[in-house]
Structure 1
Amino acid sequence: MDARDLALRTSFLLLTVTGLLGNFSLLYLYLFLYCTGYRLRTIDLIVKNLLVGNILVLFSSGFHNTMTNFGWHHLSGDFVCRFFPYVRVVGRGVSTGTTCLLSVFQVITISPMNSRSAELKVKALKLVVPSVILCWIMNMLINVIYPVYMSGNLSNTNITNRKSFGHCSAVRHDETADSLYAALISFPDVLCFVLMVLASGCTIFILYRHKKRVQNILKVNISSTSSPEIRATKTILLLVSTFIFFNTLSFISNVILAVFNSLSLFFLKTSAIIIACFPTVSPFLLMFRNSRMSMLCFGRIKHAESPKLVRRM
C-alpha cells in the first residue's frame, strides 16, 4: 500500500466516522427537544430528513468501502454491490432534494408580508410533508436501475461486457444508452441546483432590502443579524453554498462514472471522498449556526434547567 492510497483510505474513514457522529448527534438533539416538550417547526422536519439522507450516504459508502479497504472481497457479492450503492444514491438524492426544499421554503418564509405572500406561506406549510414524501419516492424509483444492473465481480465469469467499479461491476451499454442514463440521473440534480441558485438569489435580495429598510427607518447603521429569521436564513444560505460547491464536484464525478467504461481505483476512492464531504460538514454547520443547538451541544445549560430553557427559546 503506497502513501497516496493510505491517505485516501484514512481521509475517507475519518470523514465517515465524523459525519455519522455529527448527523446522529443532531438527530438526537431534535429528539431531545421533542421529548422535553419543545414544539418543532416545519423547517425542523426538513432538516431531519436531510440528516437521514446524510446518514444513508455515509453509512452505505462507509460500510462498502471499509470492506473493500480491509480486503474483505469475499463479501462483495451481488447483494452488497446492489444494496449499498442503491442506498447511497437514494440518500444523496434525498439530501439534494431536502436542501433544495429548505432553501425554497426559507425564501417563502422571509418574503415581505402581504395578502399574496401570506396565502403562499400557508400553502407552503401544507406542501412540506407531501414534498418530502415525493422526494423519497422519486429517488427510490429513479435509482432502481442500480440494483437491476449492478452485481459483484465474483458472480460474473465474463466481465468483458461489464463496467468495473472496483469489486463491483455494472452492465455495459452503448454510448447512447450511457448518455441517456447520465441525463436521467443528472436531471434531478440540475433541477435542484437551478432552484437553489434562484432561491439563494431571492434570499440575498430580500435580506438586502430588509437591511436598507431598517436603516432608513431608524436612521442608523443597525445590523439585522439579531433577528432569528435572518440568522436562520443566513445559515441556510451557508448550507446551500457548501452544498453547491461539494455536490458540483460530486455531480461531475457521477457523470464520469456513468459515461466512461474504464476508471482507476484512485478516481473511485476520490469520488467516494467527495460524495462524503457535504453529509459530513452539513450537520456541524447547522449546529454551530443555531444558538439553540449550540447551547445543547456544548453544555452551556444545565441538565436540570434545559427543558425549561428550550421551551422559552
Structure 2
Amino acid sequence: MNKLPLMFLKNVYFVQAGIGILANVFLLVFHIITIHQVHKPRPTDITTCHLAFVHIVMLLTTLDILSEDMFSFLTFVNELKCKLVLYVSRVARGLSISTTCLLSIIQVITISPSSFYLSRFKHQLTYYIIIALFSFWCLNLFSNSNIIIYTVVHPNKTNLLNVTKYCSLSSVNSIIMALYIMLILSQNVFFVGLMLLSSMHMVIFLCSHQRKSEYLHSMSISPRSSPAKRATHTVLVLVSFFVIMYCLDIIISSFSIILRKYDQVVLDIQRLVGNVYATVSPLVLISSDKRIIALLHNVIGMLKILTN
C-alpha cells in the first residue's frame, strides 16, 4: 500500500542527494584550491569550505545504501554500524547549524564600520575562525556522544524510539533524556538566535546602503552594487532559508517522536526536509560567487572553442 509513495520519496531523495553532493564537492574543491593559491583568502572561504564538507557528510550518511552496504566489508557488528552512522550524521547536522551561524557573524564583522565593537576582530579574523571551528567540533562531538551509548539495532519491540529504518534509541532514563534534549535544544536555540541577531544587523546595513544609493541617484551619480552588499544578500538568503527548513524539520521530528513507532514515510519526509538546506546552500553560494561564475564562463568558452 505504501510502496508507491516510498519509491517516489526514495527516488526524490537520491536525486536530491546527487545534486547536493556534486554541488558541495565542486564548492569544496574550488575553495581548497583558492585557499591554497591565494596568499590571503577571504575569511568566508575557510567557512564555506568547511560548510561544504559538512554537507557532503550529511548527505552521504543519510543514504540507505550507506547504512546497509558501506561497512559490509568490515567485521563490525550491525549495532556498531548504527552507532557510527547515526553519530556522524548528528554531529554533521550540529556542525551545519553552527557553521552557518559563523558565516553570518563573519559577514557582520566584515561589513561593520571601525567604530563597531566586533570590528576589532577583523585583523585576525582567520585565526578566530579556526578557533571557532575547532570549538564547534568539540561541542558537537561531546553533545551527541549519547548516540553511541543508546543506539541499538532495530528489534521488534514497541518501547524503543525509531530514528532510522534499521536503528533505534534504547530506553533511556527520563531525567537523562530530558537533560539531553535541553542540551541540544539550548545549543540550537543559541545558534539560531545568533543568526537572527546577525540578520537584523545585516538588514540594517542594507537599509542604510539603500538610502545612500538613493541619495547618489538623486545627485545623478550612478551607484554600484558593492561586493559587501552582494555577500550580505547571499548570507541573508542562506540564514533565512536555514531557519525556515530548521523549523519545518523540528515540526516533523516532533510528530515522529509523538508517534513513537516506525513509519517509513514520515522518516523519509523528515530526511528530505533535513537535507534540503545541504542541497540548496551550495547552489546559492556558487551562483553568488563572481569568481566561480567567471570560472564557469571560461570553461564554457573553452568548450565552445574546442567543439567548433
- TM-score, length basis structure 2: 0.85
Residues 152, 221 of structure 1: CA spacing in aligned structure 2 closer, same or farther, 3 A cutoff?
A: farther
- The Cα of 1:300 is off from its aligned counterpart by 5.1
- The Cα of 1:121 is off from its aligned counterpart by 2.7
2:200 aligned with 1:201, yes or no? Answer: yes
Match of 1:190 in 2: 189
2:241 aligned with 1:248, yes or no? Answer: no
Residues 174, 32 of structure 1: CA spacing in aligned structure 2 closer, same or farther, 3 A cutoff?
A: closer
CA RMSD of aligned residues (A): 2.8
- The Cα of 1:227 is off from its aligned counterpart by 0.7
Question: Residues 137-195 of structure 1: CA distance to partner in whole angstroms, max 9, x if unpaired?
Answer: 10011001111110213xx5x73543234321211235554443322222211111111
Task: Give structure 2 stretches of 5+ with no counterpart.
Answer: 70-75, 303-308
For 1:23-102, what aligned pairs fall within 5 Å after superposition? 23-37=24-38, 39-63=40-64, 67=68, 77-102=78-103
**Which letter maps to 2:243?**
I
Provide the secondary structure at the position in 2 that maps to 1:226: coil
Counterpart contact for 1:19–1:280, Cα < 8 Å: yes
Question: Residues 227-277 of structure 1: CA distance to partner in whole angstroms, max 9, x if unpaired?
Answer: 111111111111111111112222333445556532412111111111111
Matched length: 294
Counterpart-to-counterpart distance in 2, 1:222 and 1:253: 51
184-193 or 112-121: bigger deviation: 112-121
Counterpart contact for 1:287–1:293, Cα < 8 Å: yes
Task: Give structure 1 stretches of 5+ with no counterpart.
Answer: 69-74, 304-313
**Which letter maps to 1:134?**
S
Counterpart contact for 1:175–1:259, Cα < 8 Å: no
- The Cα of 1:220 is off from its aligned counterpart by 4.2
**Which letter maps to 1:133?**
F
- The Cα of 1:213 is off from its aligned counterpart by 2.9
For 1:110-121, what aligned pairs fall within 5 Å after superposition? 110-114=111-115, 116=117, 118-121=119-122
Identity across matched positions, percent: 26
- The Cα of 1:116 is off from its aligned counterpart by 4.9
Counterpart-to-counterpart distance in 1, 2:162 and 2:261: 7
Counterpart-to-counterpart distance in 2, 1:244 and 1:67: 31
Counterpart-to-counterpart distance in 1, 2:207 and 2:116: 22
Counterpart contact for 1:8–1:270, Cα < 8 Å: yes
Provide the secondary structure at the position in 2 that maps to 1:122: coil
Counterpart-to-counterpart distance in 2, 1:64 and 1:204: 42
Provide the secondary structure at the position in 1 that maps to 2:275: helix
- TM-score, length basis structure 1: 0.83
199-208 or 124-133: bigger deviation: 124-133
Match of 1:311 in 2: none
- The Cα of 1:218 is off from its aligned counterpart by 5.8
Counterpart contact for 1:29–1:296, Cα < 8 Å: no
Match of 2:270 in 1: 271
**Which letter maps to 1:197?**
L
- The Cα of 1:197 is off from its aligned counterpart by 0.8
